[in-house]
Chain A
Amino acid sequence: MHYLEKELNELIQFWDEEPEALRALRSDAFKQYKEVGLPNRKWEGWQFTDFSALEKTSYRLASPGDLPPVPETLPTIANCNRILIINGHFQENLSVLSDKVTVQTLQHAYATNPEIFNKTVVNNSNPFHNLNTALMNSGLAIIVENNAVIDNPIHILYYTTGLTEPIMNHPLFLIVAGADSETTIIEHYAGTTNVQYWQNVVTYINLSDNAVLNHTRIQEEDLNGNHIADTAYSLEKDAQLNAFHFASGSSLYRQNIQVNLASSGASSTVNGLCLAKDRQHLDQQIIINHLKENCSSNQLFKYILSDSSAGVFNGRVIVSEGAQKTDAQQTIRNLLLTDKALAHSSPQLEIYADDVKCSHGSTTGQLDKNAIFYMRSRGIDVQTAQLLLISGFAKEVMETITNTNIDTYIDEKLTTWLEHIGVTP
């Protein structure tokens, strides 16, 4: 992975105005990365995914030259305030910002609020996270004021297009939901290109006391893309997180999700829907840390796997000593549409407290032949019957998306996806 070191050196030279402390942060993180390198199959929690594709191509960090004309049609979700980033470049003039929300470039955020960086970037055992810290070249800090109730969702669209050679981006998003605030944030990655690219994203989200945050993450990169993500949530007292992670894009996808229920009364719902086709490999690991008493966490993840795709889900709920009255649930359901599709799921519970309510479960199945016959016996053709069953499978988790416009957007993605795999009415 020599290209990474070369890119780091060039970046440090290019941004010669960067504060020394930030440079030190980059160098330290790179050192940590170099000690271990990329994960391999012997690593606990990484054993089902092969990252060698990232070594076979030399990716160059996106530069100011990598800004094609903004496409006329971009993915749109109705009634949102959009923050647009093209190939890593924040398009401030094409973005609509909300009152009571501060949007800063990372340099600006570092200059005004360096503590927030220190919270997220130090001592991380995930090498991709360290690479992101070393090479971070895009992303934003988004700070929602205390008591702010933001009606329209904030739609961050990170779009990759018009590439001429393989590039990589290491975006960092720092999101702070102020105390008693209420916000919906959509973190959306999409792309269309014939050239390979690599996104290595870190998102750090802090929910202050009693904040309510709806976070929808949509990953629909081009199949020429590789998407690696580390999404960490930290919830303060009585904060409430409703997260939905939709993924249908990129040939290689690995997301680490961590939820720290750091103070009493916090509750998190983290649900997801993954659609995989061709030879896509979609891998998610989620760790829920119940650190304090009276917190609840819910997870429902569904994978629909077609062709020769693979879906990996590794979920752990850790209930610390003293986290009494914890209520934790975890459910994973895989639907295999072909004999060649593969699902690996492992739900795990680690409980160090004695007064808790925890459950977990995982199922993997194919389309119910009896249900198909039942529908056909009522005059419904096979294709429609399959469509109804697959949509029905997705529905349970789709119903948890509370914003109608987001629900409509993802529902359309599901319909298009089903058309691509040949299931149409």
Chain B
Amino acid sequence: MLEIKDLHVKVKDKDILKGINLTVHPGELHAIMGRNGSGKSTLANAIAGQDSYEITSGDILFNGTSIVAESPEERALAGIFMSFQYPVIIPGVNNTYFLKAALNAKRKHQGKTELDAVEFLKLIREKLAVVEMDEKYLHRAVNDGFSGGEKKQNEILQMLTLEPALAILDETDSGLDIDALKIVAAGINNYRRDDRAIVIITHYQRILKYLEADYVHVLINGKIAKTGGENLAEQLEDKGYSWLDN
């Protein structure tokens, strides 16, 4: 589904990613771990199409097609979703309106009819229940006045509503208390299916206790330094990252 080939990315003239290779198949859950500044968020943003991240060489293929020249919205419509490390507050834009606009953009792209307000509300109520969010959050501006945990729940709500084929979750578990963490993990498990793939970027092993990761990758200095199974995450928890430095 996702194939990253020798990807080099610059941010503000600084080389951040220095040759990433990663292949993700449908049904898989990959965890990418690493210290601050190792390039984890850069990788997520490069996949989502943030234009301040300059791809200097290499390629990103999604379902066999290169997406590096595509706009963020084209990538989203094709089925890529990124949960933001820092979800953006959009003053004055109602959360329901935003979600409905996003969903209908996707449905239109897929040649489906757009949902009207009643149909949308029925759908969104089901999804709200999964992430244990109160309906009042629908009536607020996007992420405006949301706590850290509520912002992350809102990201998961968007993912469940938009049903992407590939979800890149950028530190969705950071800053969550244990209850919020469980809710977010339940949302991710609810989303997980054989035809969908998940890449979760995290600092901490604790969310992986609730998710079954197929692969754990360690990113060091812009490269994947080691790949293993869930036990690699446990090793990192015990030993830190320094044993992988060379």
Contact = CB atoms under 8 A, between A and B. Distances in A.
A375 interface: yes
Given A374-B87, A378-B162, A393 B92 contact: yes
B91 A384 contact: no
A73 interface: no
Contact of B106 (A375, A379, A392, A394): A379
Nearest to A393: B92
A379 B141 contact: no
A379 B93 contact: no
Given A378-B76, A379-B109, A391 B92 contact: yes
A376 B71 contact: yes
B76 A388 contact: no
Interface stretch (A222-230, A254-262, A365-373, A403-411): A365-373
Contacts of A371: 88-90
B105 A381 contact: yes
Given A379-B105, A379-B106, A379-B162, A394 B72 contact: no
Interface string B42-62: 000000111100000000000
Given A376-B49, A379-B105, A395-B92, 6 more contacts: A374-B84, A377-B48, A377-B49, A377-B75, A378-B158, A396-B92
A393 B73 contact: no
A317 B132 CA distance: 47
B22 interface: no
Contact of B76 (A368, A376, A396): A376
12 contacts: A373-B50, A373-B88, A374-B88, A378-B98, A378-B105, A379-B73, A380-B102, A381-B105, A389-B93, A391-B93, A394-B92, A395-B92
A389 to B, nearest CB: 7
Interface string B10-52: 0000000000000000000000000000000000000011110
A382 interface: yes
B77 interface: yes
B146 to A, nearest CB: 14
A382 B73 CA distance: 8
Interface string A157-192: 000000000000000000000000000000000000
A379 B102 contact: yes
Interface residues of B, number: 30
A370 B71 CA distance: 15
Contacts of B141: 392
B101 interface: yes
Interface residues of A, number: 22
Interface centre among A376, A391, A395 (most CB of B within 10 A): A376
A423 to B, nearest CB: 14
Nearest to B86: A370
B73 A396 contact: no
A382 to B, nearest CB: 7
Interface centre among B48, B98, B162 (most CB of A within 10 A): B98
Contacts of A391: 92-93
Contacts of B213: none
Contact of B88 (A368, A380, A381, A388): A368
When A and B form their complex, which 8 residue pairs have the shortest distance between CB atoms, in order from nearest? Answer: A392-B92, A379-B76, A378-B102, A395-B92, A376-B72, A374-B88, A392-B93, A379-B105
B184 interface: no
B77 to A, nearest CB: 5
Interface in B134-149: 141
B53 to A, nearest CB: 11
B82 interface: yes
Given A373-B50, A377-B49, A379-B105, A389 B90 contact: yes
A199 to B, nearest CB: 32
Given A376-B76, A379-B162, A388 B93 contact: yes
A389 B90 CA distance: 7
Given A376-B73, A378-B162, A389-B93, A370 B101 contact: no
A370 B102 contact: no
A296 B126 CA distance: 45
A379 B92 contact: no
A40 B40 CA distance: 58
B98 A388 contact: yes
A388 B93 CA distance: 6
Contacts of A379: 73, 76-77, 102, 105-106, 109, 162
A317 B50 CA distance: 44
Nearest to B48: A377
Contacts of A384: 101, 105
Given A371-B88, A388-B101, A392-B141, A377 B76 contact: yes
A378 B90 CA distance: 13
Nearest to A370: B88
Contact of B105 (A374, A380, A392, A395): A380
Contacts of B50: 373
Contacts of B109: 379
B92 to A, nearest CB: 3
B73 to A, nearest CB: 5
